[in-house]
A and B are shown apart, each in its own frame.
Chain A
């Protein structure tokens, strides 16, 4: 059972890491708009737009 002394802090640090990552993503605007990005990805880009993005 002694291993629990190691695993519990590990689990808590792990959880803390995820909470921190979530809070970071929130303040970067990840969850500001939950609808539009889902619609945006359905459409293919125009060839011209792709060229611009690839710098051609």
Chain B
């Protein structure tokens, strides 16, 4: 199975790379640019290109018109500036992207400043009062990115800012203290004695105080938590080691003889703080991508009043309002259809791949998307009362109950702390009774200081940070370091179907008869020309070259299909449930009600799906499907991917998916929609794939930013490497602890040896980690 893995990696590596025409980054895209920013910048420089000249611009802008509502602006404006906003920008690749988007004031005069934070993928803008957010969003779309405004509570930039600054200050203090203590300790090691040595030791004592009272605060908090939740974590041994180091050194300082460990204690606190910050930074990057917590965007909605039509923001809708829903709009509330009919895309809510037609009086749900035509609905339930609101509040409730997953390093910490303290206590009692209590205390404390779980405290976050970065390079965003351990515990893997195993888009796979004339293609394209039904897209994708003919009296009939007249003849496309063979969806093409042909569609698998599932099965994972889609479609996909029928479940509601997950142990759930969110939360590991909606991003641990499922194999590989490195680090650390412990109990350890041993062990672990994670 390892060979399969390396084969995949080789395939990727062997793909020919070319240098980007603008920035020179190696890229495998065929159009000679690594990203659209480079392409546009190249055009800006060579052809005086400006975004507004594009004809699509107005339609872009119209899509974002809801952003111009005063309520929307007030809601999203940053605290200090009513005309300042933070956007999350998807698609930032390289420095050209930064450069291009920061040119925003050039493209739109009302914008005064635009500043990108590349790590967090955010854009901070400020502008004049006349600045239209819709215009800003449209320009950004035109440049080839997707941008959403972030509300103040979602604003990761500000949220992380204070936290990070406080942490950097702690690192600075710890570093300065540790460095200066070392300067004063070197002369003592070199043999300085007498009053100068006493003065220098006291200076070290005072320099240690900022660490004790300020820099070490995060460890105290961690140690307190370990009491609160009755789980011993790594912070507890760190605090114990630091405090014993401080106490034994201070006692010896006051006594006037004995060992002093201020220098080694200070430097390990500094090292641990610094590596923790590294991990924090990388995790924040992944967190920012999932900060789009609003599932139903706040939008401006048209509603009917006694004397006409007015607009209001979606969170102020009341039950009983009659809303006018536009094509492509996401329904802001639950309610019933007031118009004759409506077509809705339900895939986000229940995973169903085909849109559904709803008639007057039928119930519709918030979070679904209107398709081709405008319709009216009566609101019944809003916000938290809606179906999707229930899912969200259930998610929030359950996210408070933390999963009780204990990581390997926590286990070792528990084990180590027990053994070391009990040895120290026994040694103190026996040595004290037999020889001397004071010397016994001294050696026992030295043992605790030296047995500081350095590798645990420093090697583990370092391994995580390196692995998180490696994963990020491969397009895998991970929220938490212990994901790597969870991955290795997984036995069952469940996939959602629509959008996860498949691309989520229909494509034309078969037709009868086998030949389709250009004229028929033209008629069909004309019949479907106004439709945003997935089947219409499938026709358009299949026949890009064909030109639609001019039809007369084009008419869409509820639950039936489309009808139109061409050269006096009646043509129609009708849904054809009877001929849904082999799990394919089908439509019939008719001339004067006589069938001329049948067309079959299916939701195509991603290119790599079969390969990945085969690999997973050969690695002894139990693979299954949990889908909300209809049974015959799901079963068809299961046969194609050779997934065991006993592991295939269809027509499930989001809650039923969650219950299924609970029936199995050590489950990984991979999905993309709101319908998977609960299941992902309940699973040991929840993975969201590219194109997921924000709700599922919030409940997942991992997010694949590249299409397809190959990332799953990479994730398993990286996890394996991380775990190997972790174990090797722990082995080094335990050896070191054992040797150091024996030496200190025998009384051979003095501060000089401690000061030499500690950096050596750190260097060893650093080297082992870099070597282990790199390749």
Contact = CB atoms under 8 A, between A and B. Distances in A.
A56 B676 CA distance: 58
Contacts of B180: 11-12, 15
A15 B169 contact: no
B196 to A, nearest CB: 7
B165 A33 contact: no
Contacts of A12: 180, 203
Contacts of B176: 15, 18-19, 22
A46 interface: yes
Interface string A9-45: 0011001001100110011010111111001101100
A48 B116 CA distance: 21
A23 B439 CA distance: 42
Given A8-B203, A12-B180, A15-B176, A39 B165 contact: no
A15 to B, nearest CB: 6
A24 to B, nearest CB: 10
B118 A35 contact: yes
Contacts of A48: 106
Nearest to B95: A39
Contacts of B203: 8, 12
Interface in B88-110: 94-95, 98-99, 102, 106
Contacts of B767: none
Q: Which of B94, B116, B172 has the most CB of A within 10 A?
A: B172
Contacts of A34: 119
Nearest to A33: B117
B31 interface: no
A6 interface: no
Interface centre among B94, B98, B116, B161 (most CB of A within 10 A): B98
A48 B105 CA distance: 12
A56 to B, nearest CB: 17
B173 interface: yes
A43 B169 contact: no
A35 B172 contact: no
Contacts of B164: 31-32
B243 interface: no
A3 interface: no
A46 B9 CA distance: 41
Interface residues of A, number: 26
Given A34-B119, A35-B119, A36-B119, A43 B99 contact: yes
Contacts of B165: 26-27, 29, 31-32
Contacts of A42: 95
A40 B172 contact: no
Nearest to A5: B199
A48 B119 CA distance: 28
Contacts of B95: 39-40, 42-43
A46 B106 contact: yes
Contacts, number: 61
Given A15-B180, A23-B172, A46-B106, A39 B119 contact: no
Contacts of A35: 117-119
B172 A22 contact: yes
B82 to A, nearest CB: 21
B98 A36 contact: yes
B564 to A, nearest CB: 52
B172 A39 contact: no
Contact of A39 (B106, B115, B118, B196): B118
A36 B118 contact: yes
Contacts of A19: 172-173, 176
Interface in B155-205: 161, 164-165, 168-169, 172-173, 176, 180, 183, 196, 203
Interface residues of B, number: 24
B119 A33 contact: yes
Nearest to B200: A8
Q: Point out which of B102, B106, B116, B168 has the most chain A C-beta atoms below 10 A from its C-beta.
A: B168
Contact of B169 (A18, A26, A29, A36): A26
A33 B173 contact: no
Contacts of A11: 180, 183
B325 to A, nearest CB: 40
Contacts of B172: 19, 22-23, 26
B196 A4 contact: yes
A22 B173 CA distance: 9
A41 B172 CA distance: 26
Interface in B55-96: 94-95
Nearest to B160: A32
Contacts of A22: 172, 176
A15 B287 CA distance: 36
A31 B168 contact: yes
A13 to B, nearest CB: 12
Nearest to B207: A12
Nearest to A22: B172
Contacts of B98: 36, 39-40
| Interface-centre pick from A18, A33, A34, A46 (highest chain B CB count, 10 A) | A33
A15 B118 CA distance: 33
Nearest to A4: B196
Contacts of A15: 176, 180
Interface string B3-38: 000000000000000000000000000000000000
Contacts of A43: 95, 99
Contacts of B116: 36
Contacts of B106: 46, 48-49
Contacts of A31: 164-165, 168
A26 B168 contact: yes
Given A36-B117, A39-B98, A23 B169 contact: yes
A27 B330 CA distance: 42
Contacts of B173: 19
Nearest to A19: B176
Contacts of B118: 33, 35-36, 39
Nearest to A39: B95
A12 B204 CA distance: 12
Contacts of B161: 29, 32
A33 B168 CA distance: 12
A40 B169 contact: no
A46 B100 CA distance: 12
Contacts of A26: 165, 168-169, 172
B105 to A, nearest CB: 9
A40 to B, nearest CB: 6
Contacts of A32: 117, 161, 164-165
Given A4-B196, A39-B98, 5 more contacts: A15-B176, A19-B172, A26-B165, A26-B172, A40-B98
Going nearest first, the 4 A-B pairs with the smallest beta carbon separation are A39-B95, A36-B118, A43-B99, A35-B118
Interface of B: 94-95, 98-99, 102, 106, 115-120, 161, 164-165, 168-169, 172-173, 176, 180, 183, 196, 203
27 contacts: A11-B183, A12-B180, A12-B203, A18-B176, A19-B176, A22-B172, A26-B169, A27-B169, A29-B165, A31-B168, A32-B117, A32-B164, A32-B165, A33-B120, A35-B117, A35-B118, A36-B117, A36-B118, A36-B119, A39-B94, A39-B95, A39-B118, A40-B99, A42-B95, A43-B95, A46-B106, A48-B106
